[in-house]
Chain A
């Protein structure tokens, strides 16, 4: 772990987002679920440092407890022990086991959580409207221009149910970015998409990242997705979950789809697939439920 930290500055791509913040420190976090008195450990002494502006890919088999970690950062679940800090400030700790959800850490959900009863534009404007920080007119202007930047012009007045699933995911990311978050938390957002749409979404996400440079905490079980997007891979053990292998992806950003066929990409894939496969097998043997 410490070796990784030392080499941080020597990386090929140094994410620079110090001014805006968004560094996440997960320190010795444990989460024990206690349904019906049978304690189940979901997260086992997990320690992980994510510098501001990094795309950190959390890879692990389905149901390994990575979503538990995400929920703890987002403030949906409490933790049992340990500390999670953002830019040095404590989000949750044994004294305050559940963080407050906030617009500085926004989750993009697995199945998408655009409100189907609001138009795409109303969805995008939702955050600032709720926080009451700006005038209504200003908010809608900003929402329109951000949607235009993301290539979503012409869909403002459609309801989410009327547009393609790929487009919906993009609207959801724009809705998050409207709040100028420090961290985006992705919970396998592209899992339900077909592979063609997914490949387009990956490039679109990188596009958005290059413009906004937020910290990205991205959960996936797709290793290729993880290598393609991430600065760093964190391969998790099967439940209870803890980092098993941490690896820098030294393919320079900006990346595009040609990366997928590059020799370095294949090398990294070979290097990591054994570790992931082993955990998947363990998880399968344990009969973990998906999700």
Chain B
């Protein structure tokens, strides 16, 4: 390490920075020598540079206006001054600095340092945190310490809509690359390999007693990928996509209907006590009835094969959504509604500005559950009635002894179910930026 790097590393704010980063900072620096009695800067001068004493000593006097307990300090080798250049807002020096002897200082341009930090926000914020701690402790100026420039923050503030999208995409790419660097994807691969290996060995190699009748891994894969499937369904047959499409359409209709009715019902249940007294007991009585128990009634009530299935799918989703939304309204801290009332919001405004956004986290938990149970009850419905759909495929494949097709149907359900629930989660994150950002900072 070079001499300059060693000096920088000994300075309080930079202690946290890794060595290769220190040399990046020293790359921005220059050395300046002052004579005894020279004034480096005065109070009110524009603050551009950070100074680190290399040799000699400097008198650092904060103005009378400052509320520091020790306004006068003597800075020696490794001490840092000129930190006003890393504060937010208009940067003006808060102290007058006078050299007490022949003094050599290292000068770093504050703006270029912050620009460097922007490229390495994690390290940058650590160094800025070091500055804040130093200002608070060594200079006993807690107020100023609060205003040390925060990298990530400022980026968000400066970025208008355009860059916000860009950072969103950049953030995603960053997360993907971090994920690839972590052991997670490789552990996941091992998990899959073990699972598939178990299937392959038990069914096809060892042919264990209860497993021998099951469709084997290679049979299923070759059937799945075959242009001319033995049992009539693979990724090359249009039928396969027709079944998927029909199932997705049913789930989508049921889910949208359940959301459109369940969210408002939940909001009103949580919001109006009177409404709740009327409706909630009925709701609580109907909710525990298993979806399968509704099948006969659904077939009696609705004609054709399509509407009963959609009704069954809707029902399960609807209860999950409404109940979670109601819990969401109840979860809102009373002080939020009181604060809104204090600030002059009418009852309707409280509903719009507090109740709705405040319950969103629970609403989206409800919607994720809702998509899950939608698929669950869809398959139940399709097994009983209907002529298309993945549940229908699984059921008829069983009666027609097309066992590999059962597995194809199941795998497809797993993938489609996962994708739909991921879509709900992404939509939730998009609508609740405040939560995403809170979490990325580590919560309250």
Contacts and interface: CB of A to CB of B under 8 A. Distances in A.
B399 interface: no
A115 B333 CA distance: 10
Given A113-B335, A151-B143, A256-B67, A106 B88 contact: no
B443 A115 contact: no
A12 interface: no
Interface string B341-383: 1111110010001100110100000000000000000000000
Contact of B343 (A103, A110, A161): A103
B142 interface: yes
Contacts of A107: 338-339, 342
Contact of A117 (B142, B156, B335, B360): B360
B340 interface: yes
A109 B345 contact: no
Contact of B339 (A113, A151, A153): A113
Given A111-B335, A154-B153, A161-B443, A130 B142 contact: no
B342 A154 contact: no
Main secondary structure of the interface of B (DSSP, over half): helix
Interface string A180-200: 000000000000000011011
B430 interface: no
A213 interface: no
Contacts of B207: none
B434 interface: yes
Given A115-B354, A117-B434, A161-B443, A103 B153 contact: no
Contact of B335 (A109, A126, A130, A155): A109
B434 A103 contact: no
Given A107-B338, A162-B441, A164-B146, A157 B156 contact: yes
B338 A161 contact: no
Given A151-B147, A153-B89, A156-B157, A161 B434 contact: yes
A211 B338 CA distance: 26
A109 B437 contact: no
A159 B434 contact: yes
A15 interface: no
A20 to B, nearest CB: 18
A126 B343 contact: yes
A97 interface: no
Given A117-B358, A127-B344, A157 B335 contact: no
Interface in A87-103: 101-103
Given A101-B342, A115-B354, A130-B346, A161 B437 contact: yes
A262 B346 CA distance: 48
B193 interface: no
A76 B338 contact: yes
A25 B357 CA distance: 38
Interface in A255-283: 256-257
Nearest to A130: B345
B336 interface: yes
Contacts of B115: none
A175 interface: yes
A131 interface: yes
Contacts of A203: 67
B344 A113 contact: no
Interface in A147-178: 151, 153-159, 161-162, 164-167, 175-176
B256 interface: no
For B335, B340, B354, B438, the residue with the greatest tally of chain A CB atoms inside 10 Å of its CB is B335
A117 B147 contact: no
B84 to A, nearest CB: 15
9 closest A-B pairs by beta carbon, nearest first, are A161-B438, A127-B343, A113-B339, A113-B335, A117-B357, A131-B344, A101-B341, A130-B345, A159-B434
Given A74-B342, A102-B342, 10 more contacts: A75-B341, A115-B353, A116-B434, A117-B434, A126-B353, A155-B153, A161-B444, A166-B146, A197-B142, A200-B142
30 contacts: A74-B338, A103-B344, A105-B342, A107-B339, A113-B333, A113-B338, A115-B336, A115-B340, A115-B357, A115-B358, A116-B438, A117-B432, A117-B434, A126-B345, A130-B340, A131-B344, A154-B88, A154-B147, A158-B153, A159-B433, A159-B437, A159-B438, A161-B441, A161-B444, A162-B437, A167-B146, A179-B343, A179-B344, A199-B142, A200-B142
Interface of B: 67, 88-89, 142-143, 146-147, 153-154, 156-157, 333, 335-336, 338-346, 349, 353-354, 357-358, 360, 432-435, 437-438, 441, 443-444
